[in-house]
Amino acid sequence: MKCRCEGTTMDCSHVAWVRLPRDEPPTETLLMNDNRMITVSLGPRLPNLLELSVEDNSITELERSPFRLRPNLKILRLGGNKIINVVSDAFRGLSQLLKLYLNRNNIETVEAFAGIDSPSSLEILDLQRNKPTSIATSMFTGVPWLTELNLSSNNIPTIEDGSFSGLKKLRVLYLHSNQILRLTNETFMGLSSLKRLVLADNKIQNLPDMVFNGAIALEFLDLISNSISKIIQTTFSRLFNLTALYMDGNNITYVEDGAFRNLVKLHTLSLFNNTLQSISASTFIGLAPDDRTDNTGLEELDLTWNRLTTVRKDDFARLTKLKILWLYGNKITSEGLEDGSFANLGNLVSLSLFDNLLTNFSTATFQGLPSLEMLHLGQNLIQTFQPFAFDNLPSLTSLNLRRNAFSSSSFHPDTFGNLTALQILKIQGITGLPPRVFRHLPCLQTVLLGNDLICDCDILDLAKWLNRIACLSSHMLILDTCM
């Protein structure tokens, strides 16, 4: 098989070659993916080469500086090979290298980024899906211009203090899917430019005082799927630039009052799938406009799948910039949900109380929500819906009530009164509907009914409505029986 050439790019992938081709014509980009190479030959020189990709071969070693005759290389892709050791002179001579991809190998030791032969101009280094056992303090001392480092999906249990201290330009650090057990307040020391840090899917149990003190420019922090049990006031000290914090899938039972006090730019907080049993207004100190000088505030809060039983009037009252509030999958009861609990949330667009223990609610439950567009109340224990139950929600376009404790008399003819903007209604599990139940819904386009509806003459109004609208329900054939 032959190579394919287009302009200054030569593609010799999938041709079963064992070495690099000659430089005919002059080549700037050479693709040698998925061949039979077991080593990288010193020749030919390829003096014009800027990008070389030898991914998915069988290369086992990088001995004797194999790239030194290609000094202009800026991008080098070595992913998907069988490299075990990255020796100190592996990239000697590559003084202009900017991007290096070593992902999907079997690398256990890394020496190439600590000495005088390091590619010191390197900006992006990908070492994900290898087999290093630790991160040593000297590992990256020879690549001070790194802006992105990917160490994810390895088997790293420990990071020596100060391992990243020389990476003053680093903006993105991926450490997810490792075995990291412990962080200290010196783990991230010196990372003054770091914006994005991903630590998801590790085994971190505790976050020490000021653990992120060396990375005060952080804007995005992902701690999903660890074993963290509590958040204290000093955990996030000095993270004044953080805008998004994800702590889903931990074992958080306790958030100290004022723990988010320093997070004065935070707009997204996700505590999905933890074991929180209670919250209060003090939990969210620092996240309200009154706590800030620029009138901003938290916009997204996810408390899905915790163990909350109550929501009081004051809990969210100060979070007046909130647009999304998810309380899905808790144990909130009607007795525990105070009327007016959301009354100050005039900017709220989406509210989920799906899969709780609600048996009833009143119109006062959802007062003060003029901007609400989506309300999820499905999979509760609500038996009846009173007339004009959603009267305080003039902007509501999507209402999910599916799989409650429905009966044939669950809905009053005026239950949906004044929902003039509603477009989507989900009531799967309903067995019957009163005549003219949809007459208040001029914008309704889609109704999801499920398979439990009993066809009788009481749903003639529904049949007439289905004939009128352009978007028909998937259960039209069932309703045809009654028409």
**Cβ-count burial 345-360 (b if 16+ within 10 Å, e if not):** bebbbbbbbbbbbbeb
Residue 260 near residue 286, CB atoms below 8 Å: yes
Q: Which residues of the chain have pLDDT under 70?
A: 1, 23-25, 457-483
Cα distance between residue 424 and residue 431, in whole Å: 19
**CA angle in degrees (0–180, nearest 5) for 352-355-359:** 100
> What's the pLDDT score for residue 449?
84
Question: What are the chain's domains?
Answer: 1-86+93-102 (3.80.10.10)
pLDDT tens across 432-483, in order?
888 788 888 999 988 898 888 777 766 666 666 666 654 444 443 333 333 3
- 3-23, pLDDT tens digit by residue? 899 999 999 999 998 888 876
Beta bridge mates, 326: 302, 352
Distance CA 324, CA 322 (A): 6
pLDDT for position 480: 34
Write down the pTM of the prediction.
0.93
How high is the pLDDT of residue 75? 98
pLDDT for residue 21: 85
